[in-house]
Amino acid sequence: MTRPPLAIVTGASGNLGSAVVARLTASGYRVARVERNVMHLAEEFDCEVDLSDRASVTRAFSEAARRAGPLLAVVHTVGMYRGGPSLLETQDADYAQLFQVNAMTTLHVLQAALSIMQPQREGAIAVVSGRDAQTGGAGHGAYAASKAAQLRMVETAAAEAKSAGVRVNAVLPGTMDTPQNRAAMPDADPSTWLPLRDVAEVLTYLVSPAAAAVSGQAILL
């Protein structure tokens, strides 16, 4: 009996990550959840993983693929938003932290996933970026730069993995309807925001066989 395909979701305990896990599960995937510093798959295994460390991510992904593969889908939802001071006043530490969380974790996830998917010549990766990846704005210099770096990695990975039959895409959502955003913007109208289930639906589509012709794209939501 063929095992269901394996998907890995980073940031699986977050608002969007948990919605993605639910949607992938409903679509027939077995989902390994990366929550903080642990990767967890049902009752089958737990292993430590540090997304800031390339070797740690590679080990965890390889272990998941070995135990529960084939690994056919990866959705990377981890990220940090921070508005801040002007470019003139921004400190090196502000850039360093945002690049570490937004860009370097993406690099490590892409490297780990591609090292498995390219040899098997099958798989798809979806990365959650942000609209600031396309255009900077006042007070968003460090954040926008980190998201732009993330998007360039996605485009590069898509170009390099195309010949191996592996697809890589990014989603650039607007404001999502989360408890944190409602608390931070009490006067805003959340009916104009993106429901998490809609973003999860798009991410699930992008890693599914139905999106076989889609790669290297930045999907604005």
Look up the CATH superfamily of 6-220: NAD(P)-binding Rossmann-like Domain (3.40.50.720)
Instruction: Name 28's Cβ contacts closer than 8 Å, sequence gap at least 6.
Output: 4, 5
Tokens of 74: 């990866």
Task: Give pLDDT, residue 1.
Answer: 55
Task: Give pLDDT, residue 82.
Answer: 84
Task: Give pLDDT, residue 88.
Answer: 86
CA proximity to 73, closest of 197, 168, 162, 151: 168
39 or 3, which is more confident: 39
76 burial class (0-12, 13-18, 19+ CB within 10 angstroms)? Answer: buried
Domain residue limits, the chain = 6-220
Task: Give pLDDT, residue 207.
Answer: 98
Cβ pair 196, 177 in contact under 8 A: yes
pLDDT at 174 over 80: yes
